[in-house]
Structure 1
Amino acid sequence: MPPKKAAATEKKVFLGRPSNNLQMGIVGVPNVGKSSLFNALSKCDLGKIANFPYATIEPEEARVSVPDERFDFLCQLYKPANKVPAFLTCVDIAGLTKGAASGAGLGNNFLSNVRAVDGIFQVVRAFDDAEVIHVEGDVDPVRDMDIIQTELRLKDIEWVEKHLDGLRKKLRGATGTANLADKAKKEEVDCVAKVLDVLTTQNKDVRKATWTNKEIDIVNDLQLLTAKPVIYLVNLSERDYIRKKNKWLPKIKAWIDENNPGDLLIPFSVALEERLAQEFDNPEAQKAELEKLGTTGALGKITTGGYSALHLIRYFTCGPQEVRAWTIRDGTKAPQAAGVIHGDFEKHFICGDIMQFNDLKEHGSEVAVKAAGKMAQKGKPYEMIDGDICYWKHNA
Structure 2
Amino acid sequence: MPPKKAAAAEKKILLGRPGNNLKIGIVGLPNVGKSSFFNVLSKTDLGKAANFPYATINPEEARIPVPDPRFDWLCDLYKPASKVPAFLTCIDIAGLTAGASTGAGLGNAFLSHVRAVDGIFQVVRAFDDAEVIHVEGDVDPCRDMEIISTELRLKDIEWVEKHLDSLKKTGRALGNTSLADKAKKEEIATVQKIYDVLTKENKDVRKVEWNNKEIDVVNGLQLLTAKPVTYLVNLSERDYIRKKNKWLPKIKAWIDEHNPGDPLIPFSVALEERLANMSDEERKEEEQKLGVTSALGKITQAGYASLDLIRYFTCGPDEVRAWTIRRGTKAPQAAGVIHSDFENKFVCGEIMSYEDLREFGSEAAVKAAGKLRQQGKPYEMVDGDIAYWKAGA
- TM-score, normalised to structure 1, is 0.98
CA drift at 1:97? 0.1
Paired with 2:167 and 2:311, the residues of 1 have a C-alpha distance of 39
Whichever residue aligns with residue 131 of structure 1, its letter is: E
Write the deviation string for residues 3-37 of structure 1: whole angstroms up to 9, x where unpaired. Answer: 21111011111110011000000000000000011
Structure 2 equivalent of residue 184 of structure 1? 183
Structure 1 equivalent of residue 110 of structure 2? 110
Whichever residue aligns with residue 235 of structure 1, its letter is: N
Whichever residue aligns with residue 42 of structure 2, its letter is: S
1:227 counterpart = 2:226 = yes
Pick one of 360, 368, 391 that aligns with 1:371.
368
Q: How does 1:244-255 map to 2 (within 5 A)?
A: 244-255=243-254
Q: How does 1:124-203 map to 2 (within 5 A)?
A: 124-175=124-175, 177-203=176-202
Identity among equivalent pairs (%): 77
Q: How does 1:284-303 map to 2 (within 5 A)?
A: 284-303=281-300
Most deviating of 287-296 and 30-39: 287-296
Paired with 1:153 and 1:390, the residues of 2 have a C-alpha distance of 42
CA drift at 1:51? 0.1
Paired with 1:259 and 1:202, the residues of 2 have a C-alpha distance of 11
Paired with 2:332 and 2:285, the residues of 1 have a C-alpha distance of 44
Whichever residue aligns with residue 42 of structure 1, its letter is: S
Classify the secondary structure of the residue corresponding to 2:106.
helix
Paired with 2:282 and 2:179, the residues of 1 have a C-alpha distance of 65
Structure 2 equivalent of residue 9 of structure 1? 9
Structure 1 equivalent of residue 55 of structure 2? 55
- Runs of 4+ in structure 1 deviating by more than 4 angstroms, as ranges, are none
Q: How does 1:346-357 map to 2 (within 5 A)?
A: 346-357=343-354
Paired with 1:106 and 1:88, the residues of 2 have a C-alpha distance of 26
Most deviating of 164-173 and 343-352: 164-173
Structure 1 equivalent of residue 339 of structure 2? 342
Write the deviation string for residues 227-262 of structure 1: whole angstroms up to 9, x where unpaired. Answer: 000000000011111111000000000000000000
Whichever residue aligns with residue 370 of structure 2, its letter is: G
Structure 2 equivalent of residue 261 of structure 1? 260
RMSD: 0.7
CA drift at 1:90? 0.3
Pick one of 257, 268, 281 that aligns with 2:279.
281
Pick one of 325, 328, 343 that aligns with 2:325.
328
Paired with 1:174 and 1:3, the residues of 2 have a C-alpha distance of 42
Paired with 2:236 and 2:325, the residues of 1 have a C-alpha distance of 36
CA drift at 1:170? 1.2
CA drift at 1:336? 0.3
CA drift at 1:173? 3.4
Whichever residue aligns with residue 254 of structure 1, its letter is: A
Structure 2 equivalent of residue 21 of structure 1? 21
Paired with 2:74 and 2:148, the residues of 1 have a C-alpha distance of 42
What number of residue pairs does the alignment pair up?
Answer: 393
Q: Which runs of 5+ in 1 are unaligned?
A: none
1:85 counterpart = 2:85 = yes
Whichever residue aligns with residue 20 of structure 1, its letter is: N
Pick one of 313, 317, 322 that aligns with 1:316.
313
CA drift at 1:172? 2.2
